[in-house]
Amino acid sequence: MSDWQRLDPRMLVVEPVSELRRFLPVLLGALLAGGFARGGGLGWELLAVAVPVAIGVARYLTTRYRILDGRVELRRGLLQRTLRTAQLDRVRTVDVTASLVHRVLGLATVRIGTGAGAEQDLELDGLRAPQAQELREALLARVAHEAHAPDDADAAAPPAAPTERPVLRLDPGWARYAPFTSAGVVAAAALLGVASQALPDSAWRLDRLPDLAPAGWGWLLLAAVGVLAAAVSSAVLAVLGYLVAHWDLTLTRTPTQWRLTRGLLTTRETSVEDARLAGVVVREPLGLRLAGAAELGAVVTGLGQGEKGTLTLVPPAPRAVVDGVAGAVLGDDRPTDAPLTAPLRTHGPAAVRRRRLRALAPAVVLVALVTASVGADLLTPWSLVLALLVLPAAIALGEDRARSLGHLASEGFLVSRSGSLARHREVLGAEHVIGWTVRDTWFQRRSGLVTLEATTAGGSQRVQVLDVPEHDGLVLAAALTPDLLAEVGYRTPPSQ
Amino acid sequence: MTSLRPPAHRVHPRARLMWQLAAGTEVLVLAVVLVATGVVADLYDLRWWMPVLLAAYAVVRVVVVPTWRFRVHRWEVTPQAAYTQTGWWARERRLAPMSRIQTVDWDQGPLERLLGLANVTITTASAAGALSIGGLDQATAETLVAELTAKAEAAGGDAT
């Protein structure tokens, strides 16, 4: 494969179709305008179709790629030409995606990531599906080979026979957890918003509830039915969304990589090399926690920053399933569950007080403001009752957040847990800890607490240990990176 | 030992002057705005508490914060690591090993050039892990860049 090659000719169908979709607003505009200008012929409509089609065809004709001298090159563009190059030894991730149109035509998109951010990715849009798989295998075999024999001493030794072992297959029944995620809540909130617009004002004026009875019971019933309908439909939407995104999700262990495939309409296949897998995040938002479920993300270096740095390995599923997969991922070939299930070190009374205070303070301020407003006759007394309801919620939130706090150094992993509504347990391999940030405000210094952060190249770029007593934080850091802490004169004191 | 010792070196005392100048400029702009809107344009009644509030703000920004900041800001380069401490109300100590250093940057703003100061920024593969030392003497900053670059190179590693 050393000569410039075109993408698959079937892209001549895909490109114009996607261009047409992009031009849809213009197209509709042209159709409407055409409707007004009767007798003007079909000129504008034809142009509006012909231009996108021409652009699509031109894109196909001007795009070529080749694989040569240890690099992949992609050349494209008619007026503004670009040449994008990826060194094969810098390739970190290879994704194979196929949208519905691609799948019908037997095509796939290969996305080659070099860890320099999503904009720098090299995308070969439109190879035949088997060819895409072949390319993926070839690229990743090379990555694995480089990783295992960096000094080319035994370059001749072929990689071990590929043995693939499925670690997880999605059970469609797990979609029952989808309504408990924030996606379900967001959908419900959106629907409630729509409902509030549709219903008459009187149904929402809580301050006038006494006036409504008995004449207004009808409206109240209607409101209740509306809320119920919103809840049910958001649950259904969440379940459908879950199934479309994660259908047939399979996590496979190959000798050097983890491979994840999923998707109902658009299929996605992502491979992550062992060395790039820095850790995992077990997410247990309140809803999922109450339902006995959790979600698992992998912290991957070179996936780009922010949200994209974590790859969802297990969508909402029973807690035991999540723990099992997390253990397999962390332990490579000998599963370990200590970082996931071992009891965490708590952060002590000062941290608990701080969590309580920080949850309660805004609620108290709110109640004070509402009380003042009621006193000044700006709000009806009903609103004070509502505001007072916030207090127990804030207390419960503070307690739960205090209970969540914990950390651990276990089997070479940093483990940290925090949060309530969005509780998460982060596990990061010690070798992926780049450095440390110790942050303390004046208030924290007074109670002897610090916020310790391990910086890393994957996921959200840091793992935070919130409000830990400074001594405990340093013991934790020294347990994971003893040499680094020794540089600034800190050595773990002999254990008591 | 229950707490981390602070880094060995303070930044240059002129850094305090620089922070004071920057804050002073800001306060001056606010004062001009106050006079322009309240006295010259007479958009509202200038009450006694307005200049008092501004004066209090000026004291905090020009006197308290730079002094406090100067007591906190420190740096140190050990054989295998870089260590910084910054901030005032919220203090931040950062520690990174030489083997993970990706780039060492040197930069100087107009005010810094005037005072002969410079900043050194050390980046690692983590977007959350850059160490920044502001308000160093220009010559010290240059020596520091050379030292860090040499040590980072000697420490090897792929810096990821």
Rounded to the nearest angstrom, the minimum Cα separation between A71 and chain B is 20
Confirm or reject contact between A487 and chain B (CB < 8 A): yes
A434 contacts B129? CB cut-off 8 A: yes
A487 contacts B160? CB cut-off 8 A: no
Is pLDDT of A492 > 60? Answer: yes
Rounded to the nearest angstrom, the minimum Cα separation between B151 and chain A is 14
Rounded to the nearest angstrom, the minimum Cα separation between A300 and chain B is 12
Confirm or reject contact between B129 and chain A (CB < 8 A): yes
Of the two residues A33 and A447, the one the predictor is more confident about is: A447
Chain B residue with minimal CA distance to A457?
Answer: B126
Confirm or reject contact between A341 and chain B (CB < 8 A): no
Rounded to the nearest angstrom, the minimum Cα separation between A193 and chain B is 37
> What one-letter code names the amino acid at A269?
E
CA distances from A12 to A16, A64, A365, A430, B49 (A): 7, 14, 63, 49, 73
pLDDT in tens, B43-100: 888 888 989 999 999 999 999 999 999 999 999 999 999 999 999 999 999 999 999 9
The ipTM is: 0.92
Identify the pLDDT of residue A2.
63
Chain B residue with minimal CA distance to A444?
Answer: B90
Is pLDDT of A149 > 50? Answer: no
Closest partner residue to A434 (CB to CB) among B5, B93, B100 is B100
Rounded to the nearest angstrom, the minimum Cα separation between B89 and chain A is 6
Q: Using the structure block, give the residue that is written with the tokens 């070179």.
A: A302
Confirm or reject contact between A154 and chain B (CB < 8 A): no
Is pLDDT of A123 > 80? Answer: yes
Determine if the peptide bond prior to A172 is cis (ω within 30°): no
Is pLDDT of A480 > 90? Answer: yes
Chain B residue with minimal CA distance to A432?
Answer: B160
Q: What's the CA gap between A436 and A451, in Å, rounded?
A: 10
Q: What's the CA gap between A460 and A458, in Å, rounded?
A: 6
Q: How many residue pairs bridge chain A and chain B with CB atoms within 8 Å of each other? A: 100
Is pLDDT of A114 > 80? Answer: no
pLDDT band at A449; cut points 50, 70, 90 = very high
- In CATH, the architecture of B73-155 is Roll (2.30)
pLDDT band at B118; cut points 50, 70, 90 = very high
Residues in chain B: 160
Q: What's the CA gap between A414 and A402, in Å, rounded?
A: 20
Rounded to the nearest angstrom, the minimum Cα separation between A471 and chain B is 5
Chain B contact set for A455 (CB, 8 A): 96, 124, 126, 128-129
A441 contacts B90? CB cut-off 8 A: yes
CB-based burial label for A391 (10 Å; 0-12, 13-18, 19+):
middle
Confirm or reject contact between A462 and chain B (CB < 8 A): yes
Of the two residues A418 and A34, the one the predictor is more confident about is: A418
A462 contacts B129? CB cut-off 8 A: yes
Chain A contact set for B90 (CB, 8 A): 439-442
CA distances from A401 to A299, A363, A485 (A): 23, 15, 29
Residues in chain A: 496
CA distances from A463 to A314, A408, A428, B54, B105 (A): 20, 12, 8, 40, 25
Identify the pLDDT of residue A496.
44
Closest partner residue to B128 (CB to CB) among A445, A461, A485 is A461
Confirm or reject contact between A461 and chain B (CB < 8 A): yes
B127 contacts A461? CB cut-off 8 A: yes
User: For chain B, what are the domain ranges?
Assistant: 9-70, 73-155
pLDDT band at A359; cut points 50, 70, 90 = very high
Chain A (189-248) residues lying within 8 Å, Cβ to Cβ, of chain B: none
**Cβ–Cβ contacts within 10 Å for residue A488, how many?**
19
Is pLDDT of A184 > 60? Answer: no
